[in-house]
Amino acid sequence: MILVTGATGIVGRAVVDHLLAAGAPVRALTRRPDTAALPAAVDVVRADPGEPETLPAALKGVDRMFLLTAGPYLAAYDANLAEAAADAGVTHIVKLSSGRVDDPAATDPIPTWHRAGERAIRGSGIPWTMVRPLGFMSNALHWSHTVRTQDTVYAPFGHGRIAAIDPADIAAVATTILTEPRLAESGHRDRTYLLSGPEPLSPAEQTEILSDVLGRSLRYAETSPAEARDALLRFGVDDTMANAIMALRATALEAFTSVVHPDVEQITGRAPRSFHDWAREHRAVFI
Ligand SMILES: NC(=O)c1ccc[n+]([C@@H]2O[C@H](COP(=O)([O-])OP(=O)(O)OC[C@H]3O[C@@H](n4cnc5c(N)ncnc54)[C@H](OP(=O)(O)O)[C@@H]3O)[C@@H](O)[C@H]2O)c1
Protein backbone atom coordinates (compact mmCIF):
# COMPACT_ATOMS: atom_id res chain seq x y z
CA MET A 1 0.00 0.00 0.00
CA ILE A 2 1.26 3.47 -0.92
CA LEU A 3 0.18 6.39 1.31
CA VAL A 4 -0.20 9.82 -0.30
CA THR A 5 -0.31 12.82 2.04
CA GLY A 6 -1.55 16.19 0.79
CA ALA A 7 -3.74 14.04 -1.47
CA THR A 8 -6.47 16.66 -1.91
CA GLY A 9 -4.09 19.33 -3.26
CA ILE A 10 -2.88 19.87 -6.81
CA VAL A 11 0.25 17.71 -6.67
CA GLY A 12 -1.04 15.07 -4.25
CA ARG A 13 -4.17 14.49 -6.33
CA ALA A 14 -2.05 14.10 -9.47
CA VAL A 15 0.11 11.55 -7.62
CA VAL A 16 -3.03 9.62 -6.59
CA ASP A 17 -4.25 9.53 -10.20
CA HIS A 18 -0.87 8.45 -11.58
CA LEU A 19 -0.45 5.71 -8.97
CA LEU A 20 -3.96 4.37 -9.68
CA ALA A 21 -3.24 4.40 -13.42
CA ALA A 22 -0.10 2.36 -12.69
CA GLY A 23 -2.25 -0.18 -10.83
CA ALA A 24 -0.84 0.59 -7.37
CA PRO A 25 -2.95 0.30 -4.21
CA VAL A 26 -3.38 3.83 -2.85
CA ARG A 27 -4.34 5.25 0.52
CA ALA A 28 -4.94 9.01 0.84
CA LEU A 29 -4.47 11.00 4.01
CA THR A 30 -6.73 14.00 4.52
CA ARG A 31 -8.08 16.07 7.40
CA ARG A 32 -11.40 16.34 5.54
CA PRO A 33 -12.50 12.98 4.08
CA ASP A 34 -16.08 14.26 3.53
CA THR A 35 -15.00 16.82 0.96
CA ALA A 36 -11.93 15.02 -0.39
CA ALA A 37 -13.66 13.92 -3.65
CA LEU A 38 -11.08 11.22 -4.34
CA PRO A 39 -11.66 8.29 -6.72
CA ALA A 40 -13.58 5.31 -5.31
CA ALA A 41 -10.54 3.04 -5.67
CA VAL A 42 -8.66 5.08 -3.06
CA ASP A 43 -8.63 4.08 0.60
CA VAL A 44 -9.32 7.50 2.18
CA VAL A 45 -8.25 7.93 5.81
CA ARG A 46 -8.88 10.82 8.13
CA ALA A 47 -5.65 11.91 9.81
CA ASP A 48 -3.80 15.14 10.48
CA PRO A 49 -0.01 15.44 10.23
CA GLY A 50 -0.27 17.99 13.05
CA GLU A 51 -1.97 15.43 15.35
CA PRO A 52 0.58 12.60 15.76
CA GLU A 53 -1.94 10.38 17.55
CA THR A 54 -3.99 10.12 14.32
CA LEU A 55 -1.05 8.81 12.26
CA PRO A 56 -0.47 5.16 13.34
CA ALA A 57 -3.87 4.06 12.01
CA ALA A 58 -3.24 5.88 8.71
CA LEU A 59 0.14 4.18 8.32
CA LYS A 60 -0.92 0.66 9.22
CA GLY A 61 0.03 -1.69 6.38
CA VAL A 62 1.74 1.09 4.41
CA ASP A 63 4.89 0.19 2.63
CA ARG A 64 5.84 3.36 0.73
CA MET A 65 4.80 6.99 1.13
CA PHE A 66 4.53 10.14 -0.98
CA LEU A 67 4.95 12.85 1.63
CA LEU A 68 3.59 16.30 0.82
CA THR A 69 2.99 18.80 3.59
CA ALA A 70 2.27 22.50 3.40
CA GLY A 71 2.15 25.63 5.54
CA PRO A 72 4.36 27.11 8.28
CA TYR A 73 4.36 23.92 10.35
CA LEU A 74 5.36 21.60 7.54
CA ALA A 75 8.69 20.64 9.17
CA ALA A 76 6.88 19.44 12.30
CA TYR A 77 4.39 17.56 10.08
CA ASP A 78 7.27 15.89 8.23
CA ALA A 79 8.85 14.88 11.55
CA ASN A 80 5.53 13.44 12.81
CA LEU A 81 4.97 11.53 9.57
CA ALA A 82 8.55 10.23 9.45
CA GLU A 83 8.33 8.99 13.05
CA ALA A 84 5.00 7.24 12.47
CA ALA A 85 6.33 5.78 9.19
CA ALA A 86 9.40 4.37 10.95
CA ASP A 87 7.15 2.76 13.60
CA ALA A 88 4.94 1.29 10.85
CA GLY A 89 7.89 -0.22 8.94
CA VAL A 90 7.59 2.01 5.84
CA THR A 91 10.40 1.15 3.44
CA HIS A 92 10.63 4.33 1.34
CA ILE A 93 9.55 7.98 1.52
CA VAL A 94 9.40 10.32 -1.48
CA LYS A 95 9.16 13.87 -0.15
CA LEU A 96 7.98 16.85 -2.18
CA SER A 97 10.49 19.50 -1.16
CA SER A 98 11.68 22.84 -2.49
CA GLY A 99 14.26 23.67 -5.18
CA ARG A 100 16.40 25.89 -2.96
CA VAL A 101 17.01 23.62 0.02
CA ASP A 102 20.69 23.10 -0.77
CA ASP A 103 21.41 26.82 -1.11
CA PRO A 104 22.72 28.09 2.25
CA ALA A 105 21.81 31.64 1.18
CA ALA A 106 18.13 30.61 0.96
CA THR A 107 17.12 31.63 4.48
CA ASP A 108 13.56 32.72 3.67
CA PRO A 109 10.73 30.64 5.21
CA ILE A 110 9.77 28.05 2.57
CA PRO A 111 13.23 26.51 1.89
CA THR A 112 13.98 26.78 5.62
CA TRP A 113 10.86 24.77 6.48
CA HIS A 114 11.60 22.15 3.83
CA ARG A 115 15.28 21.90 4.88
CA ALA A 116 14.12 21.00 8.41
CA GLY A 117 11.52 18.57 7.02
CA GLU A 118 14.15 16.81 4.90
CA ARG A 119 16.42 16.57 7.96
CA ALA A 120 13.65 14.83 9.93
CA ILE A 121 13.12 12.31 7.13
CA ARG A 122 16.83 11.54 6.77
CA GLY A 123 17.00 11.14 10.56
CA SER A 124 14.21 8.55 10.54
CA GLY A 125 16.47 5.91 8.98
CA ILE A 126 13.90 5.19 6.26
CA PRO A 127 15.27 5.20 2.67
CA TRP A 128 14.19 8.41 0.97
CA THR A 129 14.06 10.36 -2.27
CA MET A 130 13.70 14.15 -2.27
CA VAL A 131 11.98 15.72 -5.27
CA ARG A 132 12.62 19.43 -5.39
CA PRO A 133 10.62 21.45 -7.93
CA LEU A 134 11.25 25.15 -8.51
CA GLY A 135 7.82 26.51 -9.42
CA PHE A 136 4.55 24.90 -10.48
CA MET A 137 2.88 25.80 -13.81
CA SER A 138 -0.38 25.56 -11.85
CA ASN A 139 0.54 28.79 -10.02
CA ALA A 140 -0.97 30.39 -13.15
CA LEU A 141 -4.40 29.31 -11.85
CA HIS A 142 -4.18 32.40 -9.58
CA TRP A 143 -4.54 34.47 -12.76
CA SER A 144 -7.79 32.86 -13.84
CA HIS A 145 -10.16 35.43 -12.29
CA THR A 146 -8.59 38.49 -13.95
CA VAL A 147 -8.06 36.61 -17.21
CA ARG A 148 -11.78 35.81 -17.25
CA THR A 149 -12.97 39.26 -16.16
CA GLN A 150 -10.32 41.67 -17.54
CA ASP A 151 -8.30 39.68 -20.13
CA THR A 152 -5.30 40.60 -17.97
CA VAL A 153 -2.57 38.74 -16.09
CA TYR A 154 -1.32 40.70 -13.06
CA ALA A 155 1.97 39.41 -11.64
CA PRO A 156 5.12 40.85 -10.04
CA PHE A 157 8.79 40.33 -11.00
CA GLY A 158 8.18 40.63 -14.76
CA HIS A 159 11.89 40.29 -15.62
CA GLY A 160 12.11 36.90 -13.91
CA ARG A 161 11.94 33.67 -15.89
CA ILE A 162 11.08 30.38 -14.17
CA ALA A 163 11.42 26.90 -15.66
CA ALA A 164 8.15 25.90 -13.94
CA ILE A 165 7.01 22.27 -13.97
CA ASP A 166 3.60 20.76 -14.68
CA PRO A 167 2.43 19.03 -11.45
CA ALA A 168 1.57 16.04 -13.65
CA ASP A 169 5.30 15.60 -14.25
CA ILE A 170 6.02 15.67 -10.52
CA ALA A 171 3.40 12.94 -10.18
CA ALA A 172 4.97 10.95 -13.03
CA VAL A 173 8.39 11.15 -11.35
CA ALA A 174 6.99 10.15 -7.93
CA THR A 175 5.00 7.27 -9.44
CA THR A 176 8.03 5.92 -11.31
CA ILE A 177 10.04 5.90 -8.08
CA LEU A 178 7.28 4.61 -5.78
CA THR A 179 6.34 1.73 -8.06
CA GLU A 180 9.93 0.62 -8.64
CA PRO A 181 9.93 -3.09 -7.71
CA ARG A 182 13.62 -3.19 -6.81
CA LEU A 183 14.24 0.11 -5.13
CA ALA A 184 17.69 -0.67 -3.76
CA GLU A 185 18.94 -1.34 -7.29
CA SER A 186 16.92 1.43 -8.98
CA GLY A 187 19.33 4.23 -8.15
CA HIS A 188 16.55 6.38 -6.59
CA ARG A 189 17.34 5.47 -3.01
CA ASP A 190 18.67 8.41 -0.95
CA ARG A 191 18.78 10.64 -4.03
CA THR A 192 17.73 14.24 -4.55
CA TYR A 193 16.21 15.40 -7.84
CA LEU A 194 15.72 18.93 -9.10
CA LEU A 195 12.58 19.10 -11.20
CA SER A 196 11.87 21.70 -13.84
CA GLY A 197 9.77 22.17 -16.93
CA PRO A 198 11.28 22.31 -20.44
CA GLU A 199 11.88 26.08 -20.70
CA PRO A 200 12.12 29.20 -18.56
CA LEU A 201 9.26 31.64 -19.13
CA SER A 202 8.49 35.14 -17.89
CA PRO A 203 4.91 36.05 -16.91
CA ALA A 204 4.62 38.01 -20.17
CA GLU A 205 5.66 34.93 -22.18
CA GLN A 206 3.20 32.76 -20.25
CA THR A 207 0.51 35.36 -20.99
CA GLU A 208 1.27 35.08 -24.73
CA ILE A 209 0.93 31.29 -24.57
CA LEU A 210 -2.37 31.60 -22.69
CA SER A 211 -3.61 34.07 -25.34
CA ASP A 212 -2.72 31.59 -28.05
CA VAL A 213 -4.47 28.71 -26.29
CA LEU A 214 -7.58 30.78 -25.47
CA GLY A 215 -7.74 32.36 -28.92
CA ARG A 216 -8.09 35.90 -27.58
CA SER A 217 -5.69 38.68 -26.77
CA LEU A 218 -4.54 38.96 -23.14
CA ARG A 219 -2.44 41.69 -21.56
CA TYR A 220 0.34 41.28 -18.97
CA ALA A 221 0.47 44.02 -16.31
CA GLU A 222 3.38 43.99 -13.87
CA THR A 223 2.31 44.62 -10.27
CA SER A 224 4.53 45.72 -7.39
CA PRO A 225 5.44 43.13 -4.73
CA ALA A 226 3.29 45.09 -2.24
CA GLU A 227 0.26 44.87 -4.56
CA ALA A 228 0.87 41.16 -5.09
CA ARG A 229 1.09 40.62 -1.32
CA ASP A 230 -2.21 42.50 -0.81
CA ALA A 231 -3.82 40.29 -3.45
CA LEU A 232 -2.73 37.19 -1.49
CA LEU A 233 -4.26 38.61 1.71
CA ARG A 234 -7.51 39.36 -0.15
CA PHE A 235 -7.42 35.75 -1.34
CA GLY A 236 -7.53 34.61 2.31
CA VAL A 237 -3.80 33.80 2.72
CA ASP A 238 -2.58 34.75 6.22
CA ASP A 239 0.28 37.14 6.96
CA THR A 240 2.95 34.47 7.61
CA MET A 241 2.20 32.59 4.41
CA ALA A 242 1.90 35.82 2.37
CA ASN A 243 5.40 36.87 3.48
CA ALA A 244 6.78 33.38 2.78
CA ILE A 245 5.22 33.26 -0.68
CA MET A 246 6.43 36.76 -1.60
CA ALA A 247 10.00 35.92 -0.51
CA LEU A 248 9.83 32.85 -2.73
CA ARG A 249 8.35 34.78 -5.67
CA ALA A 250 11.19 37.32 -5.49
CA THR A 251 13.63 34.53 -6.40
CA ALA A 252 12.11 34.60 -9.89
CA LEU A 253 14.71 37.31 -10.55
CA GLU A 254 17.62 34.96 -9.71
CA ALA A 255 19.37 32.99 -12.45
CA PHE A 256 18.91 29.51 -10.94
CA THR A 257 15.12 29.59 -11.40
CA SER A 258 15.59 29.65 -15.17
CA VAL A 259 17.80 26.54 -15.29
CA VAL A 260 16.27 23.53 -17.05
CA HIS A 261 17.12 20.27 -15.30
CA PRO A 262 17.26 16.85 -17.03
CA ASP A 263 15.82 14.84 -14.10
CA VAL A 264 12.19 14.50 -15.29
CA GLU A 265 13.31 13.03 -18.61
CA GLN A 266 15.98 10.84 -17.03
CA ILE A 267 13.50 9.35 -14.53
CA THR A 268 10.35 9.04 -16.66
CA GLY A 269 11.99 8.53 -20.08
CA ARG A 270 10.11 11.43 -21.68
CA ALA A 271 10.50 15.18 -21.92
CA PRO A 272 8.67 17.37 -19.39
CA ARG A 273 5.36 18.87 -20.49
CA SER A 274 5.33 22.41 -21.82
CA PHE A 275 3.34 25.38 -20.47
CA HIS A 276 1.39 25.18 -23.71
CA ASP A 277 0.39 21.57 -22.84
CA TRP A 278 -0.60 22.63 -19.32
CA ALA A 279 -2.61 25.64 -20.54
CA ARG A 280 -4.49 23.55 -23.14
CA GLU A 281 -5.46 21.06 -20.45
CA HIS A 282 -6.68 23.81 -18.09
CA ARG A 283 -8.20 26.04 -20.77
CA ALA A 284 -11.72 25.86 -19.29
CA VAL A 285 -10.62 27.58 -16.07
CA PHE A 286 -9.66 30.74 -18.01
CA ILE A 287 -12.81 31.08 -20.15
N1 LIG B 1 3.65 26.25 -5.73
C2 LIG B 1 4.91 26.13 -6.07
O3 LIG B 1 5.39 26.76 -7.03
C4 LIG B 1 5.81 25.18 -5.31
C5 LIG B 1 7.11 24.97 -5.76
C6 LIG B 1 7.95 24.06 -5.07
C7 LIG B 1 7.47 23.40 -3.94
N8 LIG B 1 6.18 23.65 -3.52
C9 LIG B 1 5.70 22.92 -2.34
O10 LIG B 1 4.55 22.17 -2.71
C11 LIG B 1 3.73 21.98 -1.56
C12 LIG B 1 2.32 22.42 -1.88
O13 LIG B 1 1.78 21.56 -2.86
P14 LIG B 1 0.24 21.70 -3.27
O15 LIG B 1 0.03 23.11 -3.80
O16 LIG B 1 -0.13 20.57 -4.12
O17 LIG B 1 -0.43 21.54 -1.87
P18 LIG B 1 -1.66 22.33 -1.19
O19 LIG B 1 -2.79 22.31 -2.14
O20 LIG B 1 -1.18 23.64 -0.64
O21 LIG B 1 -1.93 21.40 0.06
C22 LIG B 1 -2.13 20.00 -0.10
C23 LIG B 1 -3.01 19.50 1.01
O24 LIG B 1 -2.32 19.62 2.26
C25 LIG B 1 -3.24 19.96 3.28
N26 LIG B 1 -2.83 21.26 3.83
C27 LIG B 1 -2.65 22.43 3.16
N28 LIG B 1 -2.24 23.41 3.98
C29 LIG B 1 -2.18 22.86 5.22
C30 LIG B 1 -1.81 23.35 6.50
N31 LIG B 1 -1.46 24.64 6.68
N32 LIG B 1 -1.86 22.49 7.55
C33 LIG B 1 -2.22 21.20 7.37
N34 LIG B 1 -2.58 20.67 6.18
C35 LIG B 1 -2.54 21.49 5.13
C36 LIG B 1 -4.62 20.01 2.62
O37 LIG B 1 -5.17 18.70 2.70
P38 LIG B 1 -6.45 18.30 3.59
O39 LIG B 1 -7.22 19.55 3.85
O40 LIG B 1 -7.15 17.31 2.72
O41 LIG B 1 -5.90 17.69 4.84
C42 LIG B 1 -4.28 20.31 1.19
O43 LIG B 1 -5.25 19.89 0.24
C44 LIG B 1 4.37 22.79 -0.43
O45 LIG B 1 5.19 21.94 0.34
C46 LIG B 1 5.19 23.81 -1.21
O47 LIG B 1 6.27 24.34 -0.45
C48 LIG B 1 5.36 24.51 -4.17
Q: pLDDT at position 24, please? A: 98
How many separate helices (H) and strands (E) can be counted in the chain?
A: 12, 9
Average pLDDT, the chain: 96
Using the mean position of ligand 1's atoms as its centre, give its distance from the Cα of residue 216 in Å.
32
* Res. 181: pLDDT tops 90: no
pLDDT digits (tens, 9 = 90+) for 213-239: 999 999 999 999 999 999 999 989 999
Q: How confident is the model at residue 269 (pLDDT cuts 50, 70, 90)?
A: very high
Task: Quote the radius of gyration of the chain (alpha carbons, Å).
Answer: 19
Using the mean position of ligand 1's atoms as its centre, give its distance from the Cα of residue 185 in Å.
31
Q: What are phi and psi of 62, to 5 degrees?
A: -85, 140
* Res. 195: pLDDT tops 90: yes
Using the mean position of ligand 1's atoms as its centre, give its distance from the Cα of residue 48 in Å.
13
With a Cβ cut-off of 6 Å, ligand 1 is lined by 6, 8-12, 30-32, 36, 50, 68-71, 74, 96, 98, 110, 133, 135-136, 139
* Residue of 4, 8, 115 to mutate, ligand 1, most atoms within 8 A of C-beta: 8
Segment (H or E) for 81: helix 74-88
CATH node for 2-133+167-194+260-271: 3.40.50.720
Quick one: which atom of ligand 1 is closest to the CA of 113?
47
Q: Pick from 159, 123, 174, 247: which is nearest to 20 by CA?
A: 174
Q: Whose CA is nearest to atom 18 of ligand 1?
A: 9
* Residue of 4, 31, 73, 246 to mutate, ligand 1, most atoms within 8 A of C-beta: 31
DSSP string, 1-69: -EEESSTTSHHHHHHHHHHHHTT--EEEEES-GGG----TTSEEEE--TT-GGGHHHHHTT--EEEE--
* Res. 211: pLDDT tops 80: yes
* Res. 60: pLDDT tops 90: yes
Quote the pTM value: 0.97
Using the mean position of ligand 1's atoms as its centre, give its distance from the Cα of residue 215 in Å.
32
CB atoms within 10 A of CB 232: 18
Q: Which residues contact 191 (CB under 8 A, 6 or more apart)?
A: 129, 130
* Res. 184: pLDDT tops 80: no
Segment (H or E) for 214: helix 203-214
pLDDT digits (tens, 9 = 90+) for 18-27: 999 999 999 9
* Residue of 78, 136, 142 to mutate, ligand 1, most atoms within 8 A of C-beta: 136
Domain boundaries along the sequence of the chain? 2-133+167-194+260-271
* Res. 66: pLDDT tops 80: yes
Q: pLDDT at position 149, please? A: 98
pLDDT digits (tens, 9 = 90+) for 233-250: 998 999 999 999 999 999
Using the mean position of ligand 1's atoms as its centre, give its distance from the Cα of residue 70 in Å.
4
pLDDT digits (tens, 9 = 90+) for 124-173: 999 999 999 989 999 999 999 999 999 999 999 999 999 999 999 999 99
